[in-house]
Amino acid sequence: MERRCHMKKILAFCLAAAMVLGGCSKGTENTEGETALTVVTSFYPVYLLAANVTDGVEGVTLKNMTQPQTGCLHDYELTTEDMKTLEGADVLFINGLGMESFMDKVMGQYPDLFIVDTSTGSVTLEGDDHGHAHEGEEEGEEEVNAHIWLNPSNGVKQAEVICDALSQADPTNADKYAANTATFAESMESVIAQAEAINAAPGTEVAVFHEGFPYLTDLCGLEVGVGIYADENEEPSAKEMAEAAEEIKEDGIKLLLAADDAGMKYAETLAAETGATVVELNPITSGELNKDVYRLGMERNLQILADALS
Ligand SMILES: [Zn+2]
C-alpha cells in the first residue's frame, strides 16, 4: 500500500479551518467564571478520541451528534435531533476527508459553529476506486480513504488537533487537555509496538471487506490483495465476486478480514469457495461511549491478527 499525503486537500482544510476559526466560539462562562463548553463530535471514533482529550476536565460536556450504533457516515443525513445538538454546540469535531459530506448542505445554518477537521496532519491511504462514484464525485475519481482513525498514529494526530482547538476555545484548561493528550499518545505507543511486532512476512496478502481495514493491514506489513466493499446501498457484482475468488486462490490469500456488517456475508461466501478463513475485526465505528474502547479495540484487533497469522 502506498502512503501519500494529500497536500492539496490538507491545505484546503487548513484554509477552511482558518475561516471557521474567525468565528471561533470561546464557550460561555458561568457565574464563577468557569468555562462551560459544549463539545460535539460527528460520529463514534471522533467521540472516543475527544473523550480521551477531555477526560476529567470540568465544565466540558461532550456529546456525540449521531447515535453510537450509526457506523460510518458515508450516506448519512442529519436528523432534527442532530440539528438540535449542533445548535447547542460550541465546537464540532469532524473526522474530515469527506466522511461528513452531509455537513456541506447545512453548514450555512450554523454560522457561529466552530467546526474543526481532525484529519489535518494524518497520513492517508488512497481510497478504493471500485468503479462507483459517491455523491458529488466523478466516476473513477481518486479518493482518499477517510477511515484514518484505524491507524493509531493518526488517532494521536486527531487527538492533537482536538487538543489544540480546545486549548484555544478554553485556554484555562489547556494544561489538562495537553496532559490527557500526552497520556493518550503514550498509550498508543504500545499499540503501535504491538502492530510492529506482527511483522508479517514480506508479500503476505489478505482480502479486506471493510474500507477502513487497509489502515490496519498497512500497519502490520500486510498487503491488500483483494478489497470487496459493500454497504446497505451497494453490493459487489457477481463478476467482482468471481474475480475475487480467483485472486484469493491464485495469490494464496489465507485471511479474509471482515467486520460484523454488510461485508461479512461476502467474506463468508468467498471463504466457502476458496477455503480461506474469515477473521472478524472491529472498525471501531460503533459501540460503547467510553474513551478506553479505542485503545481496547485496537489492541484486540492486533491480537486477533497476530493469532491469525501465527
Ligand atoms: Zn466507512
| CATH number of the structural domain 197-309 | 3.40.50.1980
Q: How far apart are the CA of 110 and the centre of ligand 1, in A?
A: 26
Q: How far apart are the CA of 285 and the centre of ligand 1, in A?
A: 8
Q: How far apart are the CA of 218 and the centre of ligand 1, in A?
A: 17
Q: How far apart are the CA of 23 and the centre of ligand 1, in A?
A: 30
- Band of the pLDDT at 29, cuts 50, 70, 90? low
**Burial tier of 188 (Cβ tally within 10 Å: 0-12, 13-18, 19+):** buried
Q: How far apart are the CA of 209 and the centre of ligand 1, in A?
A: 11
Cβ neighbour number for residue 286 with a 10 Å cutoff: 20
Tell me the mean pLDDT in the region 49-57: 98
Q: How far apart are the CA of 74 and the centre of ligand 1, in A?
A: 6
Residue 136: predicted pLDDT:
47
Percent of the chain with pLDDT strictly greater than 90: 75
Q: How far apart are the CA of 34 and the centre of ligand 1, in A?
A: 38
Contact 256, 279 (CB under 8 A): yes
Residue 310 identity (one-letter amino acid): S
Q: How far apart are the CA of 61 and the centre of ligand 1, in A?
A: 27
Phi and psi angles of residue 41, each rounded to the nearest 5 degrees, phi first: -115, 150
- The length of the chain is 310
Residue 188 identity (one-letter amino acid): M
Q: How far apart are the CA of 72 and the centre of ligand 1, in A?
A: 5
Q: How far apart are the CA of 186 and the centre of ligand 1, in A?
A: 27
How is residue 118 written as a grid cell? 481532525
Phi and psi angles of residue 221, each rounded to the nearest 5 degrees, phi first: 75, 20
Dihedral over Cα of 102, 103, 104, 109: its sign: positive
Q: How far apart are the CA of 36 and the centre of ligand 1, in A?
A: 33
- Band of the pLDDT at 6, cuts 50, 70, 90? very low
Question: What stretch(es) of the chain map to CATH 3.40.50.1980?
Answer: 3-193, 197-309
The mean predicted confidence, pLDDT, of the chain is 88
Contact 230, 262 (CB under 8 A): yes
CATH architecture type of domain 3-193: 3-Layer(aba) Sandwich (3.40)
User: Does the pLDDT at position 195 exceed 60?
Assistant: yes
Assign 3-class secondary structure to 53-110: HHCCCCCEEEEECCCCCCCCCCCCCCCHHHHHHHHCCCEEEECCCCCCCCHHHHHHHC
**Alpha helices by DSSP H, the chain:** 7-22, 44-54, 80-87, 103-106, 152-169, 174-198, 213-219, 238-250, 264-274, 292-309
Residue 30: predicted pLDDT:
56
Phi and psi angles of residue 195, each rounded to the nearest 5 degrees, phi first: -70, -45
User: Does the pLDDT at position 17 exceed 60?
Assistant: no
Kindly report, residue by residue over 149-183, the tens digit of the pLDDT. 999 999 999 999 999 999 999 999 999 999 999 99
Tell me the mean pLDDT in the region 235-258: 97
List, in sequence order, every residue forming a beta bridge with 35; answer none if it has no partner.
29
